[in-house]
């Protein structure tokens, strides 16, 4: 086990929580932390989230206590109290979300009692414990979910047969989070369901408050948001199902069948939808069949991403595009049982003869692992003369260059693309992903 | 006197008493003994928004040095700002070394167990890993807030591990909570460089008679360096650039130059005093070469030191004539337009002088801090008697939003990540530094003018943005005193 991580492809709990809280409707995050955390996250997102930074509040507009030496010596609760009082005076929000950084949690500030005082007075103030040393940005996202499920979601709402909740797509850590949430919402809409997405433009605080009325919680991740789903089930009695990100057509087919069955949608209806959506997709593909085949667009591929993206992208390449994603690298630092679970799910699922899944975090380790098998050979007869494509983050450009491979940034960090409403989930998302992947290697055409 | 014998450098506020972080009033009112509000060194705010701590600029400096690794000792979030810096560094390497390269940095990613049992051992291991992985010339081991609170000793770890690693280990103390002033970052990095990358003074050391150390800053691109090299080159002087993007081995050459000259007067005094005391390299800390008069003053200073005043004067005259002719086409569009500026202390003030030269009127200035180095620059702006709003703030856009609603400027120039507020108010904005663009010297004046001309020629993006995007403040805030929350530690409001 290494004592260091090279260029981590995530930030700390506070950073993930900040991105999530800022993505909640009309919510003002309030950081109780050191003086540089805000700028650190703004700069992080600047270079990692497809040009997106913050949201309704700009990156440096979040209220923040900016703790100094005095607070470390005497405690920061009083400063937080003052900060909250003034925040409520001037910041325009319907929810104020206090997030703690490393400093208050090491020095033992009783943030909970400050926050509960405001809540008791009827002010919409909640908190999540998000010290950087407690976990990474995915953990921070999960802490925000838990706080929302405990404090905002009202217990005992009357069940609605056509309502489901989705989460598991962490804002900013999934750079395409807005488009991906919308893509899944559209898929579920095909089955006749309304969807609570919690985050992004389509969400509202009243609909979040009503989330306990849902029939099912769908976690679009095998890792992130699962604990929160257990908590939701324990508090509100709504069961959950986990699902890989449905990127593109084949994954969407599977998603609709599996979720549809679970929600008792008649199989015939599901198949009709799948037929119709695939037909639509192939209408778009028909005009590029000539060029796609003639240009020999099929590639071997190395796919690098977090636990949500890596395997889902590899599946997309293998199924929708007919490529050979022989190496998949999952970049998160995960517990052994979670790793084993992810691998178990893949058993017997590989479409292609050789598919290797490995866990590596640092760019250099990834390059070493890939170079073993993929460095172009100088020999006259080598399978390695076949084209390779790297689908990963912007930190994998060096790998692509080393291998003479094409490259597209999809997983965090994405520094070299602008992402607005783009998403890769669903049938339409798959078309966009195919456009982007192909466009990435025909730039010089 | 210098502090390089100490393990930990002093804070800016201790080294320069009077350094101030919160002031709201007018420029002329800020003058000691003048009318209006007094500046108070202990002023602070009872409401604050996210700010920038010394770690951020320090990381930017360190990450630019080739053949080094930045090893962040802290929580896994500290230092991820380097994702945002990476683009600058890639471009910087491409401009200086022919091809882009990603920043090499690592984190000890302290967890709950480390917080309880201490992170020294982990840091020691991580240093060895960084050395083995990259074989760098130097490893910056940077302490964030956490190690300082839990009592890790990065200096002791460095000393203990040094015999086992090839790279030089440079401990850097950059705990965000320790100083309210970002400028402490520069001292922290220089402290590590001065203690580790400079040779022992030698009486036989060669003095390069025509060589000048030009102290660059992280916000300066290669295009700006080339402009300064061109200007001093016209006096037949050769320029070394330090510290940003300088090879660790090259710092030794800084001790052999005949002069050091800074480009941002709040940036370098810690290091330049040391170079003078220990190696006999005199220095000039006075002007920032942004703006026509400022560039001339900067070049005049350099020329005078080498007895080249006459050549400098004739150069300046020729340059100003050339530039003046080139600027003519832009000036009618700029005439009388009111501009608001918000940025680092010196950058904000020097850029204001430049914009006045282009015919803009100053509606207001926000500076991220104030210290003694700014007085000369402030006096330049005060000289014509025109007064305007001056606000000292480490970002704090709520004050800015209030001011902009009142002042309604025609143009806004702001720091990186500091233009959002103005943009949502449909005020045309331009970033006050972006390392790909020219800002410095005569060329910088022209380039900036050309960009502003372009910007003001179509403001549709911002116009439409303002119609649909709202700032996150209650309406009532805009009718309050923008400086309502500034107070001195004695509890009294300053304004």
User: From the CA of A196, how many Å to the nearest CA of chain B?
Assistant: 24
Average pLDDT, chain A: 95
Average pLDDT score over residue span B291-296: 98
B165 and B68 in a common domain: yes
Q: Do A3 and B105 touch (CB under 8 A)?
A: no
Which sign, positive or negative, has the C-alpha torsion A307, A311, A317, A319?
A: negative
What element of type H or E holds B486? Answer: strand B486-487
Q: Where are the domains of chain A?
A: 13-148, 153-291, 295-414
Is residue B491 over pLDDT 60? Answer: no
**B464 token code pair:** 């439409």
Q: What is the pLDDT of residues B366-421, one digit of tens each?
A: 999 999 999 999 999 999 989 999 999 988 999 999 999 999 999 999 999 999 99
pLDDT at residue number B495 = 42
- pLDDT score recorded for residue A355: 86
Are residues B478 and B358 part of one domain?
yes
Give the lowest-confidence range in A156-160, A222-226, A285-289, B112-116: A156-160
CATH class of the domain defined by A13-148: alpha beta
Among A4-8, A56-60, A275-279, A300-304, the range scoring the smallest mean pLDDT is A56-60
A312, pLDDT greater than 80 = yes
The whole-number average pLDDT for the span B84-108 is 96
Verify whether the Cβ–Cβ distance A39 to B53 is below 8 Å.
Answer: yes
Whether the predicted pLDDT of A9 surpasses 70 = yes
Do the Cβ atoms of A131 and B75 come within 8 Å?
A: yes
Q: Nearest CA to CA, how far is B212 from chain A (Å)?
A: 33
**Contact present, B65 and B193 (Cβ < 8 Å):** no
User: Within an 8 Å CB–CB cutoff, is residue A384 touching chain B?
Assistant: no
B382 located within any domain? yes
B264 and B140 together in one domain: no
Contacts of A48 in chain B (CB under 8 A): 80, 83-84
Residue A434 has pLDDT above 60, yes or no: yes
* CB spacing of B395 vs A2 below 8 angstroms: no
Answer whether residue B36 shows pLDDT above 50.
no
Give the per-residue pLDDT at B146: 96
Question: Chain A residue with minimal CA distance to B100?
Answer: A398
What phi and psi, each to the nearest 5 degrees, are found at residue A54? 60, -130
**What is the Cα gyration radius of chain B?**
23
**B50/A59 touch (CB, cutoff 8 Å), yes or no:** yes
Q: How many domains does chain B have?
A: 3
Taking Cα atoms as reference points, which of B271, B259, B268 lies closest to residue B301? Answer: B259
Cβ <8 Å between A36 and B55: yes
Is the predicted pLDDT of residue B357 greater than 50, yes or no?
yes
Residue B26 domain-assigned? no
* Residue A349: per-residue pLDDT: 75
User: For residue range A35-69, what is the model confidence (pLDDT) as tens digits?
Assistant: 999 999 999 999 999 999 999 998 899 999 999 99
Question: In the predicted model, is pLDDT for residue A272 greater than 80?
Answer: yes
User: CB distance A34–B149 less than 8 Å?
Assistant: no
CA distances from B448 to A142, B51, B455 (A): 45, 27, 10
CATH of domain A153-291: 3.40.50.12380
Instruction: State both tokens at A276.
Output: 């119709």
* Spatial separation of the C-alpha atoms in residues A432 and A429, rounded to whole Å: 5
Q: Determine, for residues B47 and A86 on separate chains, whether the beta-carbon distance falls below 8 Å.
A: yes
- Angle ∠(A179,A433,A340) on CA atoms, nearest 5: 85
Residue B489 has a pLDDT of 62
Same domain assignment for residues B177 and B143: yes
Range with the largest mean pLDDT of A156-170, B175-189, B310-324: B310-324
Torsion over CA of B22, B28, B33 and B35, rounded to 10 degrees? -90
Residues of A in contact with B148 (CB under 8 A): none
Res. B15 pLDDT band, cuts 50 70 90: very high
Q: Looking at residue B35, what is its pLDDT?
A: 38
Whether A36 and B53 lie within 8 Å, measured CB to CB: yes
Interval A122-161: pLDDT, tens: 999 999 999 999 999 999 999 999 999 999 999 987 888 9
- pLDDT tens digits, residue range A364-395? 999 999 987 887 777 778 777 789 999 999 99
Question: B472 and A56 in contact by Cβ < 8 A?
Answer: yes
Question: What's the mean pLDDT in A165-181?
Answer: 98
Both B402 and B454 in one domain: the answer is: yes
Measured between CA atoms, how close is A39 to chain B, in angstroms?
5
Q: Which of B309, B262, B268, B264 is nearest to B284 (CA)?
A: B262
pLDDT of residue A347: 83
Predicted-complex ipTM score:
0.96
Check which CATH number belongs to the domain holding B431 and give it: 3.40.50.1980
If you average pLDDT over residues A413-420, what whole number do you get? 98
A-chain CB neighbours of B83 within 8 Å are 7, 43-44, 46-48, 413, 415
Domain A295-414 bears CATH identifier 3.40.50.1980 = yes
- pLDDT value of residue B112: 96
Residue B268 lies in a domain: yes
Residues from chain B contacting residue A3 (CB–CB below 8 Å): 108, 121-123, 125-126, 129
pLDDT band at B32 (very low <50, low <70, confident <90, very high): low
Q: Measured between CB atoms, does A80 come within 8 Å of chain B?
A: no
Which of B116, B112, B103, B113 lies closest to B142, judged by CA? B103
Statement: residue A320 has pLDDT above 70: yes
Cβ-Cβ contacts under 8 Å, B395 against chain A: 39, 60
pLDDT tens digits along B335-347: 999 999 999 999 9
* Host domain of residue B314: 211-321
Residue among A8, A28, A59 whose CB faces B76 most closely: A8
Q: In percent, how much of chain B has pLDDT > 70?
A: 97
For B119, the closest chain A residue by CA position comes to: A3
Q: Do B77 and A15 touch (CB under 8 A)?
A: yes
> Do the domains at A153-291 and A295-414 have one common CATH topology?
yes
Residue numbers of A between 103 and 122 with CB closer than 8 Å to B: 103, 106-107
C-beta atoms of A46 and B84 within 8 A? yes
Interface of A with B in 5-34 (CB under 8 A): 5-8, 10-15, 28, 31, 34
- Confidence grade of residue B42 (pLDDT, cut at 50, 70, 90): confident
| A57 has a chain B CB within 8 A of its CB | yes
Phi, psi of B363 (to 5 degrees): -85, -30
Contact A60 B49 (CB under 8 A): yes
Contacts of B180 in chain A (CB under 8 A): 35, 68
Q: Which residue among B56, B125, B177 places its CB closest to the CB of A43?
A: B56
Of B262, B290, B321, the position where a domain reaches its end is B321
Asked if A58 has any chain B CB less than 8 Å from its own CB, the reply is yes
How much is the mean pLDDT over chain B?
94
Which pLDDT score, from 0 to 100, does residue A190 have? 98
- How far is the CA of A53 from the CAs of A43, A172, A352, B85, B193, in angstroms? 8, 8, 38, 14, 33
Integer Cα distance of B331 and B358 in angstroms: 6
Does residue B492 surpass a pLDDT of 60? no
pLDDT at A164 over 80: yes
Across the interface, whether the CB atoms of B102 and A398 are under 8 A apart is answered yes
B33: pLDDT strictly greater than 60: no
Q: Are residues A38 and B485, on separate chains, in Cβ contact within 8 Å?
A: no
Cα angle, residue B328 at apex, residues B325 and B329 outer, rounded to 5°: 125
């Amino acid at each position: 086990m290494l004592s260091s991580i090279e260029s981590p492809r995530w930030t700390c709990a506070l950073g993930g929580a900040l991105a999530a809280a800022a993505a909640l409707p009309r919510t003002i995050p309030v950081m109780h932390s050191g003086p540089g955390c805000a700028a650190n996250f703004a700069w992080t997102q600047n270079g990692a989230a497809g040009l997106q930074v913050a949201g309704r509040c700009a990156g440096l507009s979040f209220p923040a206590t900016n703790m100094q030496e005095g607070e470390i010596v005497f405690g920061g609760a009083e400063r937080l109290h003052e900060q909250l009082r003034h925040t409520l005076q001037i910041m325009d929000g319907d929810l104020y979300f206090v997030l703690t950084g490393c400093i208050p949690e090491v020095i033992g500030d009783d943030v909970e009692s400050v926050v509960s005082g405001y809540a008791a007075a009827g002010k919409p103030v909640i908190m999540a414990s998000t010290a950087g040393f407690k976990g990474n940005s995915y953990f921070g996202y999960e802490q925000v979910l838990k706080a929302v499920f405990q404090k905002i979601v009202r217990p005992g709402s009357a069940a609605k047969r056509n309502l489901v909740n989705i989460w598991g797509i962490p804002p900013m850590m999934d750079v395409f989070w807005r488009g991906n949430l919308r893509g899944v919402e559209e898929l579920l809409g095909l089955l006749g369901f309304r969807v609570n997405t919690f985050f992004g433009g389509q969400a509202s605080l009243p609909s979040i408050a009503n989330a306990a009325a849902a029939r099912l919680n769908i976690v679009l991740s095998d890792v992130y948001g699962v604990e929160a789903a257990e908590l939701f089930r324990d508090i509100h009695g709504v069961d959950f199902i986990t699902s890989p990100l449905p990127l593109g057509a084949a994954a969407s087919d599977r998603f609709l069948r599996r979720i549809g069955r679970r929600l008792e949608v008649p199989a015939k209806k599901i198949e009709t939808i799948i037929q119709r959506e695939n037909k639509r997709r192939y209408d778009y593909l028909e005009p590029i069949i000539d060029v796609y085949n003639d240009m020999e667009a099929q590639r071997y591929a190395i796919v690098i991403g977090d636990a949500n993206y890596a395997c889902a992208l590899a599946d997309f390449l293998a199924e929708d595009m007919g490529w050979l994603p022989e190496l998949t690298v999952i970049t998160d630092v995960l517990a052994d049982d979670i790793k084993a679970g992810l691998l178990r799910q893949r058993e017997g699922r590989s479409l292609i003869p050789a598919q290797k899944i490995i866990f590596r975090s640092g760019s250099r380790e990834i390059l070493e692992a890939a170079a073993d098998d993929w460095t172009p050979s100088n020999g006259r007869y080598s399978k390695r003369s076949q084209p390779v494509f790297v689908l990963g983050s912007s930190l994998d450009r060096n790998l692509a260059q080393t291998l003479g491979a094409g490259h597209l940034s999809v997983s965090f960090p994405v520094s070299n693309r602008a992402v607005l409403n783009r998403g890769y989930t669903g049938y339409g998302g798959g078309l966009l992903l195919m456009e982007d992947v192909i466009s990435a290697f025909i730039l010089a055409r | 006197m210098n502090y390089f014998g100490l393990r930990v450098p002093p804070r800016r506020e201790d080294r320069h008493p009077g350094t101030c972080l919160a002031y709201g009033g007018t420029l002329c009112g800020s003058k000691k003994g003048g009318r209006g509000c007094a500046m108070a060194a202990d002023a602070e705010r009872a409401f604050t928004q996210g700010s920038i701590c010394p770690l951020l600029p320090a990381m930017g400096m360190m990450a630019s040095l080739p053949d080094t690794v930045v090893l962040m000792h802290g929580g896994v979030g500290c230092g991820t700002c380097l994702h945002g810096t990476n683009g600058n560094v890639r471009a910087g390497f491409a401009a200086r070394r022919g091809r882009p390269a990603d920043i090499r940095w690592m984190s000890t990613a302290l967890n709950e167990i480390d917080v309880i049992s201490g992170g020294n051992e982990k840091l020691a291991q991580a240093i060895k890993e960084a050395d083995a992985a990259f074989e760098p010339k130097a490893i910056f081991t940077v302490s964030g807030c956490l190690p300082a609170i839990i009592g890790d000793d990065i200096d002791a770890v460095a000393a203990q591990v040094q015999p086992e690693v090839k790279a030089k280990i440079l401990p850097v103390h950059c705990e965000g909570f320790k100083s309210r002033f970002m400028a402490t970052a520069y001292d922290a990095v220089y402290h590590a460089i001065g203690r580790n990358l400079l040779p022992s003074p030698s009486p036989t050391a060669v003095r390069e008679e025509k060589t000048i150390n030009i102290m660059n800053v992280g916000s300066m691109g290669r295009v700006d360096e080339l402009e300064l090299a061109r200007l001093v080159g016209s006096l037949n002087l050769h320029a070394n650039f330090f510290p940003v993007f300088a090879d660790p081995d090259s710092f030794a050459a800084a001790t052999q130059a005949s002069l050091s000259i800074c480009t941002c007067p709040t940036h370098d005094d810690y290091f330049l005093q040391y170079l003078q005391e220990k190696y006999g390299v005199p220095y000039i800390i006075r002007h920032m070469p942004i703006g026509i008069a400022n560039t001339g003053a900067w070049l005049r200073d350099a020329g005078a030191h080498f007895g080249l005043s006459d050549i400098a004067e004739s150069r300046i005259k020729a340059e100003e004539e050339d530039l003046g002719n080139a600027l003519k086409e832009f000036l009618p569009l700029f005439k009388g337009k009111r501009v608001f500026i918000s940025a680092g202390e010196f950058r904000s003030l020097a850029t204001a002088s430049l914009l006045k030269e282009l015919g803009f009127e100053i509606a207001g200035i926000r500076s991220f801090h104030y210290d003694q180095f700014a007085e000369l620059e402030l006096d330049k702006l005060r000289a014509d008697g025109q007064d305007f709003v001056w606000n000292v703030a480490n970002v704090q856009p709520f004050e800015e939003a209030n001011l902009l609603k009142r002042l309604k400027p025609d143009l806004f120039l702001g720091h990186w990540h500091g233009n959002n507020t103005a943009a949502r108010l449909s005020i045309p904005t331009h970033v006050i530094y972006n390392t790909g663009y020219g800002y410095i010297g005569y060329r910088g004046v022209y380039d900036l003018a050309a960009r502003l001309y372009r910007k003001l020629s179509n403001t549709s993006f911002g116009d439409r943005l303002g119609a649909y995007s709202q700032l996150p403040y209650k309406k009532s805030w805009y009718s309050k005193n923008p400086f309502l929350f500034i107070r001195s530690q004695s509890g009294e409001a300053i304004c």
